[in-house]
Homo-oligomer: A and B are copies of this chain.
């Protein structure tokens, strides 16, 4: 039985990258009206607008004033500039503006708009993978309680996991996200390089990699640590360092620093 519909905002998406695309598709799936898509790149604006069955524009001055919520899903360093340009347009001054960045404070909007906030889906989006959006944590913030409330209602339509996170917390969360995502992916890259340089297919390591991530879905990672460093197996560590120093000098330094960090 369908529940009574909560009041949902009309949305305009500024940006048509991977995040904008997956967010837009989820908005459409949950019947939240997206009325326009902006991208500097015509092809991208049109492609996403077609998927969302709405207007496309490549001109910020042509952004409609008929929406309630303007979601800036653009590069971190473009948010301020886009906001400045939009603020010069009549009819947008009192709208609600949010961005989707983990690294940018909400106050980037302050010189330009009265109503602003954050709508940050904490996930990495690929072109060729469809995420389970209902499981993606969405971090919400807004300058005013009323806006925070309406963003929360919208976020809860899209995901089971909605968190109020202020600018300071979000900045810290972003540091942690770099460790979880960027640095662990770099570990995978190094492993792939070492393996493939030696005619060992990376497929040998993929099940281990996946299990490493699955294990910590229900356990704290610190309790799941295994390997030579945590068991202070100096013999194995030394063998590995001898090998790396000969073949991958830069990785040897990383190996040593990471092993010391683990064994502390």
Interface set of A (CB-CB < 8 Å, partner B):
76-77, 103, 122-124, 126, 129, 131, 135-137, 139, 161, 163, 165, 169, 171-195, 198-200, 202-217, 219-222, 224-230, 233, 235-236, 239-240, 243-244, 250-251, 253-255, 257-258, 261-262, 264
Contacts and interface: CB of A to CB of B under 8 A. Distances in A.
Contact of A250 (B136, B180, B261): B261
A208 B175 contact: no
Oligomeric state, in number of copies?
Answer: 2
Contact of A202 (B76, B126, B220): B220
Contact of A235 (B77, B202, B216, B233): B77
Contact of A195 (B172, B203, B210, B251): B172
Nearest to A223: B189
A170 to B, nearest CB: 9
Residue among A200, A235, A250 with most chain B CB within 10 A: A200
Contacts of A257: 253-254, 257
B202 A191 contact: no
A79 B86 CA distance: 69
B172 A236 contact: no
B124 A212 contact: yes
Contacts of A206: 216-217
A223 to B, nearest CB: 9
Contact of A191 (B176, B188, B212, B239): B176
B186 A209 contact: no
